[in-house]
Structures are given as structure tokens and as C-alpha cells.
Structure 1
Amino acid sequence: MKIFFERVSVKHRKLAALFAMSVFGGFAMFSLLFDVPLLFQGGFGMSPVHSGMLITPLVMGTTVGSTINNRIVTRVKRANITMYAGFGLFTIACLCVIAITSKMPHLVWVMCMGTSGIGLGLVASNLTIFSQQIVARGHLGAATALLQSLRTLGGILGTAMTCSLLSHLYVRGVHSSLDSYQAMQWFKSFASPALMIDRTEQAALVSRLVEAGHAGDAIMNSARSALIESIHVGLALAAAAALIGLCITWFVPPVRMSDLNFKVRGE
């Protein structure tokens, strides 16, 4: 790996752009995968089965995006366009998820998930293709492995940061809500976002709140709203990571395919 950096990264500095894009792509992807199920189940009260059905287009869209890329990449003058399209579609999908509500038709959710999946498919496929055209043949394995490792690293960072941020914002929102209802003694019962997924525990907690003379349903709805707002911040973070990846695409050397052979201009 040391030889790889000495001989390849110095000679092809623009390869660093692909590595950065892999990190931000993984960050955005895993942040979305963490936030969306929690939004569907905890924020909108969907069942795990229903939530899983709405998330399925994300996985399917990744395969579709990769297939589409393989079909069109040989027909465009600059293959970089598909990379722009991939990050652009993912960014738009994240922003749409933030904007729409639980009252929206499920078809809208399916379209958002599918669009984000297609964007991810375009990006993942092109990262591998571009790296294989920039580095020497003897370093293809190292370059591909490093791209995958960096995407995983980005995913770990994205999950950790999103989880920490969500927990902090949720706790702050719940604290403010309980304080307004003068029910701070119930803070420990609302401390974990996992409460919003467990319907049985929610019903039991609402009953105890009502028995204690509090507006149980209103407090629970406020906690749910705090969770939704926290998830929206996480989704905005995913969109920002994808947008940064889109900007970094500018630094990738122009790549075109001719007769099934990529040529990097300026090499």
C-alpha cells in the first residue's frame, strides 16, 4: 500500500478526488440508510414490514442505476456527466424526503427511495470505472480495494455522526417539550428515540401520563415531532455530503469511452 501511494498518488493526484468522493458517497449512503427506517417507523408510525417495503426501492434502485450506467456510459462524450447525475439525484432525493410528510402518497416515498438508489448506483459504478482508467494496470487491485475501504470508512463516520447528532437533538427537543408541559419528571421515559418505535410502550406511557394528570397524547406527539426534526437534520447532513461529492467531481479528469476503451485526456 505504501508503494501504491508513492508511485500512483503522486503521479495521479486527481485520483485523490475519487477517494474523497468514495468517502462522501459512503457517508451519504449510510446516513440515509440509518435515518429513513427510523423516520418511517418512529416518526410516521409505520410497521417494520411496511417500512421495509418502502425502503426496498432504494436497494433495487442501486442495481438499476448501475445497469443504466453500463448502458449509457459508452454513448456519452464525457463519462463524468453520469457521476454528476448520480450525486445530483441522490442530493435531490434526500431533500425531497425532508420536504414530504406522512400524508404524502406512498408512491412519492417509493420514487424518492428509487431515485436515491439510482444515484448511488451511478456513483458506485463510475468510481470503480474511473479509478481503473486513471491508475496503472498493476495497481488496479489496490485502487479498487482502497475505494471500497474508504466508502466503508465514510459509512462508519456517517452513521456515527448522524446517530450522535440525532440523539442530541432529540433529547434537547424532548427536554423543551416536557418543560413546556411541566412534566420534566417523565424525562427518563422519553430519553431514548427507541420509544417512538415501540407502540406498546408508547400506549402504556400515555396511560401513565394521563393518570398523572398530564396531556399524554400531546406530549407523545411533541416527542415524535422532535424525533422527526432530528432525523431531518441527519438527512440534510446526508444531502450536504452528496453535494460535496458533486462538487469534488469537478476535479476528476475528463473521461470518455470509445470502442469500449476509456481515455483520460491530458494524460
Structure 2
Amino acid sequence: MTLPSPPALSFKQALLAMLGLSLVLMLSALDQTVIGNALPSIVAQLQGFELYAWVATGYLLASIVTIPIFGRLGDYFGRKPFVLAATVVFTLASLVCALAPSIPVLVLGRGLQGVGGGMLIGTAFACIPELFPDTRQRLRWQILLSALFSVVNALGPGLGGYLTEAFGWRSVFYINLPLGVLALFFAWRYLPWYRPLRRGAIRLDWLGALLIAVVLGSLQLWVEWLGQSSTTASAALGGLCLVALLALVGWERRCPHALLPAALFKAGSVRQLFVLSLLAGAIMFTLLFYLPLLLQGSYGYSPQDAGLLITPLALSITLGAIVNGRVITHLRNPNRVPLAGFAVLALACLGLWWAGLGASFHRLLGLILLAGLGLGFILMNLTVFTQTLAAREFLGIATALTQSLRLVGGLLGTAVMGALVKLLYVVHLRHAFDAIDQGAALAPYLDPQVLLQPGSAHDNGALLALARQALAQGLGTGLLLCAALAAVALWVLMRLPPVALSRAPAPVAPEEQ
């Protein structure tokens, strides 16, 4: 027996419900764009450049594990309670980050933020197809959501730079406190609660979640420690990752309540979309967290000026999504839009690599704008395509997994970029100093933190310029890798059959409370 579907929402009800969703999602979106630009100042003050990547990946790793868990819980209980709980967790974790006395405590706070962010992504995004079962109507409301996001995304990097210079980096976390309270009120007051019909006991795949955490955590450590730890330690981490991965695959095939149900991966098109989410996330998070380091460490821009340059990345992602939503339903082959997005993204990454330290402010601005526009043509489509192709019973977990794999890509991308920067910076720096017979003056510059603290005792203009160039060369290799990932995504996307967006999913069978 199925409970009757709730009546269609009026325009006012839909607007207020989407306002509640947008506010809670913007908490996470604002934190991503603000923290990236503040990160160089954070590691400079707390003296923890070796944990630069962990401030990003700690958040991502916690999100990755919690997204599928709460995506599944949302399928069982409805999503509203978890949206509210996630908002509370995220807001309190922001307070922990703001008060952090050291980088390890900040990483812990970021992990707690990741738990809240994972709960949000795993449940809030899946609310949209429940509120708007028709694909075309859903796209129209997602355009509105993107328009609201544009304000926050545009303000994020510039706001982060301004707050960091004017009030210190801790203010970028304090700002989440009033926003969290506002988001909590609107979500509690206006977001409908659809409770799916349940039969029997609810069982969750906790072992699967633990194995996912072990696989990703050991893989991240292996990448970051590669070449910097003993061969035995590297081999142990690699072996642990492989064993956990094999155990995860075997367990998920046998588990009757698998976190990653095998039936979800049977459709080849859905698997391809998951791969594309992984690649898009690797490129996006690498740019978000390492472009500020390039601009501040290599180009010497202040946090505020770097924020002005990073702003177009976030703004044009939203702009691209808005343009995308207007045209994609009118195309016979909607796949052409993300194809164009990955092509533009590859060109932008190549341009940033090719520009060199002589690039003007306006050239950098244009290239970053181009990268964001490409991502705007990609991200929303991957979610909508997955929601269109996934079976109705897997809608929540499929949506959550799309977002989760984007974060997996981000975790791996930022970890690889961090390892490349630490390794190649030293290699290029030694070569440059040896070339001018300044090997004896090398030691103070081995830590890239010196580039984020102008006016220090080691602020020798000529040597500092060599260090900036070395950092730019290391980061440039990462940009080339991003361009290569975009090329791989183009190849995968060209093999994806055209996705028909005219199908409206079967109505949800909920009760509204």
C-alpha cells in the first residue's frame, strides 16, 4: 500500500521551501569559497604549512563518509530532520574552527564541519526532486537556487580576503554563526517533511562506512607521504588501502542493506556519470584551495586582492549554471553542454599554467572566469542527469553519491596537489639556488610559508623571487594535471548516450507532516 502523494506546492510554498534549502546549502558554499582565500593566512599564523592540504581534506573526508549514510537515512525517515541537525552541527563546528589555537585543532573543527556538510549534501539536494518531481519544473527552481547562490559565491572570496585583512582569519568562521541561526529558522519553518512509507527494521551499513573511511584516509595519507616517508611506511599504507578496498567491494556485494547497492551501478550510464563527478570534483576543489596559494604565494597578491581574482571562479560557476538551465531542456542532446564545460575548463587550466608570473591581473581574471564558467556547465548537469537515470528507489543514495564522489575527487585532487607542491617546490628551489651559487642561503626558503610572511628576516628580493617562481612551477604542474583530467572527462562524456530530460519521475509516496 502506498500513501497518497502530497498536493503540489503553491508558488509561495515552493519559494519559501527553496529559500530554506538555499540558506542551509549556502552555509557550506560560503565556507568553501571563504576558507580557500583565508587558508594561506591561516597556515602562516598557526605555522602549519605541512597540514595545508588537511584543512581542506579533513572536511572532505568527513563529508564523504557521512553523505551516503544520511542519504540512506533520508530515504527511510524523510530529509527535513537531518537538514535541521546538519545546520546545528555545521554552525557549532564553525565555532570550534574560529577558536582553534593550532592547525591540528582547526583540522578537527574542519572535520566536524565536514560531518555537518555531509549531512546537508546527503539530504538537502535530494529534497529538490521530491519537491518538484517534474524534471523541467525542477530545473526552473534550480535556476532560482543558482541565482541565490550567485550572491554568496560572488561575495565569498572577496569577503574572505576583506575579513582576513581587517579582522583576522577567525572572522571567516564567526560569520557562519548568525547565518546558521537564520538558515535553521527558515528550514524548520518552511521546508516540508515528506516521510516515505517504511516496512520492517531499518539497518545501516556501518561496516561499509568504516571501510570507505579507511580506504580514503589511507589513500590520502599514502599520496601525501609519498617520497617523504620510509619505503616501509608507504608500502604499509598502500597495502592497507588495497586490502580495505577489496574488503569493501566484497562486503558491499554481500550486504543486504549495502551503503553502495550493487544494483545502482548496473546501469553503465550512471557509472559514467559517477566517474565524471569524481573528475569534476578533483579539478574544482584543486582550483578552489590552491589558486589562492598561487596568487598570494607566487604572485605576491594580498588576501583582499587575491579574493578579487578568485571571486569570478565562484560567480561564473553560478552564471554558467543559470545559462545552462535556460538552454539545456531545449537541446536534442543535452550532453553537449557539459562537453563544452569540460573543454572550456581544460583550456582555462592550460591558460593558467601557460600565463607564468608575468601575467597581468586582467589576464588572470579572465582565465579564472573561464574556469568557473566551464564548471557551471558541468556540475548541475551531472546531478540532474543522475536523478533522471537512477531508479526511483535509489534516488536519494544516487543523488548523495554524485555529491559524495565530487568530494572524493576533491580529496584526491587536493592531496595530490599538496604532494606535488611540497615535492616540486623543493626540487625547483634547489635547482634555482644552485644555478646562482646560493645553496648556502637555501634553508630559510625550504618552507613555502616564507612566501606568505612578507617583511620577514629572510625577505631578500632576488631570492624571494626565485622561491615564488619555484612555487609557481610546482603549482603549474598541478594545473597541467587538472587539464589532463578535463581531457579524460571529455573522452568519458563522449561515450555517454544522450540523456533525455523530458521524463518526469514517478511521484513520491510520502506523508507530509
Normalising by structure 1, we get a TM-score of: 0.87
Separation in 2, partners of 1:4, 1:41: 41
**TM-superposed deviation, 1:184:** 2.7
Partner of 1:53: 308
Q: Is the 8 A contact 1:35 1:235 kept in 2?
A: no
Change (3 A) 1:79 1:222: same
Partner of 2:413: 158
Match of 1:255 among 499, 504, 508: 499
Match of 1:146 among 395, 401, 407: 401
Could you list the runs of 5+ residues in structure 1 that have no partner in the other structure? Answer: 207-215, 263-267
**TM-superposed deviation, 1:178:** 2.4
Change (3 A) 1:261 1:81: farther
Change (3 A) 1:139 1:48: same
SS of residue paired to 2:330: coil
Partner of 2:390: 135
Match of 1:2 among 254, 258, 261: 258
Normalising by structure 2, we get a TM-score of: 0.46
User: Does residue 240 of the first structure (1) align with residue 484 of the second (2)?
Assistant: yes
Code of the aligned partner of 2:423: H
Separation in 2, partners of 1:230, 1:103: 16
Q: 1:67-216 residue pairs with structure 2 within 5 A?
A: 67-201=322-456, 204-206=457-459, 216=460
**TM-superposed deviation, 1:34:** 2.7
Code of the aligned partner of 2:292: P
Residue correspondences, number: 249
Code of the aligned partner of 1:73: I
Match of 1:16 among 243, 268, 271: 271
Code of the aligned partner of 1:51: A
Partner of 2:475: 231
**TM-superposed deviation, 1:226:** 1.1
Separation in 2, partners of 1:217, 1:146: 49
SS of residue paired to 2:442: helix
Q: Is the 8 A contact 2:420 2:475 kept in 1?
A: no
Partner of 1:212: none
**TM-superposed deviation, 1:3:** 7.6
Code of the aligned partner of 2:279: F
Q: Is the 8 A contact 1:14 1:251 kept in 2?
A: no
SS of residue paired to 2:333: coil
Moved more, 50-59 or 173-182: 173-182
Please report the RMSD computed on the Cα atoms of aligned residues, expressed in angstroms: 1.9
- Higher relative contact order structure (alpha carbons within 8 Å, sequence separation ≥ 6): 1
Separation in 2, partners of 1:185, 1:177: 12
Separation in 2, partners of 1:111, 1:257: 32
Q: Is the 8 A contact 2:264 2:398 kept in 1?
A: no
SS of residue paired to 1:14: helix
Separation in 2, partners of 1:15, 1:22: 11
Separation in 2, partners of 1:51, 1:33: 12
